Structure 1
Amino acid sequence: MSDEVKQYSLEEIKEHNTAESVWCIYKNGVYDITHYIDEHPGGGEQLLDAAGGDLTAEFDDFGHSDNALQILKKLKIGELRMEDRVKGKKTENKEKSKGCCAIM
Structure 2
Amino acid sequence: MGSESEVFTLAEVSEHSIPKDCWLVIEGKVYDVTKFLEDHPGGDEVLLSATGKDATDDFEDVGHSSTARAMMAEFCVGEIDTSTVPTETKYTPPKQPHYNQDKTPEFIIKLLQFLVPLLILGLAVGVRFYTNST
1:96 corresponds, among 72, 90, 96, to: 90
Q: Which residue of 1 aligns with 2:19?
A: 19
Q: Relative contact order: is structure 1 or structure 2 higher (C-alpha 8 Å, sep ≥ 6)? A: 1
Cα displacement (A) at 1:20? 1.0
Unaligned runs of 5+ in 2: 94-134
Letter in 2 for 1:18: I
Number of aligned residue pairs: give it.
91
Which has the higher mean CA deviation after the structures are superposed, 56-65 or 75-84? Answer: 75-84
Q: Deviation per CA, 1:38-73, whole angstroms, max 9, x where unpaired?
A: 011111121111133322111101110001101112
Aligned to 2:77: 77
In 1, Cα distance between equivalents of 2:66 and 2:46: 19
1:64 is aligned to: 64
Work out the percentage of aligned pairs sharing the same amino acid.
34
Q: 1:69 to 1:96 in 2, by over 3 A?
A: same
Deviation at 1:22, TM superposition (A): 0.1
User: What is the alpha-carbon root mean square deviation over aligned residues?
Assistant: 2.0
TM-score (norm 1): 0.77
Contact 1:8–1:79 under 8 Å retained in 2 = yes
Secondary structure at the aligned position of 1:11 is classed as: helix
Task: Say which is worse superposed, 73-82 or 57-66, in terms of deviation.
Answer: 73-82
Cα distance in 2 between the residues matched to 1:21 and 1:97: 33
> Normalising to structure 2: TM-score of the pair?
0.61
Unaligned runs of 5+ in 1: 100-104
CA contact (8 A) 2:4 2:77 kept: no
Residue matched to 1:44: 44
Structure 1 or 2, whichever has the larger Rg, is: 2
**Gap change, CA 1:74 and 1:4, over 3 Å in 2:** closer
Bigger share in helix: 2
CA distance in 2, matches of 1:4, 1:44: 24
Q: Secondary structure at the match of 2:78?
A: strand
CA distance in 2, matches of 1:4, 1:58: 22
